[in-house]
Amino acid sequence: MRKAVDVSVSAMIEDLRTLVEVESPSRDVDALTASARAVAAVIESRLGGRAVLVGSEAGPHVHWSGGGKPRVLILGHHDTVFPLGTLERRPFEVEGGHATGPGVFDMLGGLVQAIHGIAALEDRSGVEILVTADEEVGSHSSRALIEERALACGAVLVFEGAADGGGLKTGRKGCGTFEVSVTGRASHAGLEPEAGVNALVEAARQVLDIAALGRPGIGTTVTPTVASAGTLDNVVPAEATVVVDVRVETAEEKERIESAFAALTPHLAKAQVTVRGSVGRPPMPESAAAGLFAVARRLVPGLAGRAVGGGSDGNFTAALGVPTLDGLGAVGGGAHADHEYLVVDTMAGRADLVAGLVRAIRNGEHLS
């Protein structure tokens, strides 16, 4: 029988508090610089060696290597969706078996569990950790580095929060955002409305066309989410914008949706329609996780696996053909919400799972 690793939950809580109390909203480079330094300090304190800050326009990413031939990439992010000041309103607390505070579930708790799981290994060779600064806003500055290290390591463990009930995430939809801009012509809404080209009316027609692109039966959702138009109540709107969230399960659907957006045409004479965006995160097929998930099930019999709609940086690594398993982070819930929480008594088990997976990957068990 495999012996569980020896980890200290109190030490994990201490490190989690440290990270949560350094606020790290996406796009705030100064805050993210402080956060990256805190992440690096925790890594160095628990694992030794040097955690390197990799600068980018989005903020610093953190990279650490245990030396030797790269075999497994531990992947996470330290940016959160919460603005500065959230901590004052919602401070880090541990009560009733739950840890709460901005970012505990998505995904600072997962980072801490991963670090402590690796720290419990006598041999840390072959392990790399990459903690990025811009996952919540599309990973534009980190994608190339993520893909480089994933290909070098050959296996990826992603520490986003667990699925409902503590399950792992074995598949993810591809996801993207499109912005549809409509240009019309302004005129007085009372004196000469016919002289204008109503961008709001055109946008309404476009919304109906766009919504019709969805195919929920095969996992494709196309959801207009934000719209804006007009300037004054007596002016025919000259401009309108519609933002659309897209989720797909296959590469074929990604291509179909992108082609359909590119082909949008105006309904009103003299209106213009411009489209920006793409399905930026490709789908993560369940086949990418199959070998690693089988190992995880041997380590934790009965562990559930679920395909989910949200995207992560694991979408990028799976699209390269690199074995990728996601949802290894905190067990809890409330991602991006004020009720976000982590279940404390699951932390040691998740750290143990990290250690077991790393050992198995170095033995090549995920490839058998």
Across residues 78-102, what is the average pLDDT?
98
What pLDDT, on the 0 to 100 scale, is given for residue 2? Answer: 59
Confidence category of residue 331, pLDDT binned at 50, 70, 90: very high
- pLDDT, averaged across the chain: 97
> With 90 as the cut, is the pLDDT of residue 153 above it?
yes
How many alpha carbons lie under 13 Å from residue 5 in its C-beta half-sphere? Answer: 28
Q: Give whole-number Cα distances, 85 to 24, 25, 187, 285, 292, in Å.
A: 11, 10, 43, 38, 39
Distance of alpha carbon 157 from its chain centroid, rounded?
A: 13
Which of 46, 104, 50 lies closest to 78, judged by CA? 104
* Entry pTM: 0.91
What pLDDT, on the 0 to 100 scale, is given for residue 368? Answer: 74
Give the Cα separation of 104 and 82 in Å (integer): 11
Confidence category of residue 147, pLDDT binned at 50, 70, 90: very high
DSSP state of 286: G
Q: Summarize pLDDT for 221-236 with one digit per residue, the tens.
A: 999 999 999 999 999 9
**In the sheet where 239-248 sits, what is the strand order?**
221-229, 239-248, 174-183, 272-281
CB count, 10 Å around CB of 288?
A: 26
Confidence category of residue 195, pLDDT binned at 50, 70, 90: very high
Give the Cα separation of 333 and 275 in Å (integer): 35
Q: Summarize pLDDT for 280-300 with one digit per residue, the tens.
A: 999 999 999 999 999 999 999
Identify whether the C-beta of residue 352 lies closer than 8 Å to the C-beta of residue 117: yes
Which of 79, 81, 82, 46 lies closest to 64, judged by CA? 46
Confidence category of residue 1, pLDDT binned at 50, 70, 90: very low
> With 50 as the cut, is the pLDDT of residue 220 above it?
yes
Give the Cα separation of 249 and 73 in Å (integer): 24
Q: Summarize pLDDT for 25-61 with one digit per residue, the tens.
A: 999 999 999 999 999 999 999 999 999 999 999 999 9
Q: Summarize pLDDT for 106-143 with one digit per residue, the tens.
A: 999 999 999 999 999 999 999 999 999 999 999 999 99
What pLDDT, on the 0 to 100 scale, is given for residue 6? Answer: 84
Q: Give whole-number Cα distances, 290 to 205, 244, 295, in Å.
A: 43, 32, 9
Angle between helices 109-119 and 29-47 (to 10 degrees): 20
Identify whether the C-beta of residue 36 lies closer than 8 Å to the C-beta of residue 289: no
What pLDDT, on the 0 to 100 scale, is given for residue 3? Answer: 59
Question: CB-based contacts of 132: which residues, under 8 Å, 6+ apart?
Answer: 61, 75, 76, 77, 78, 79, 139, 142, 145, 146, 313
Angle between helices 9-20 and 109-119 (to 10 degrees): 140
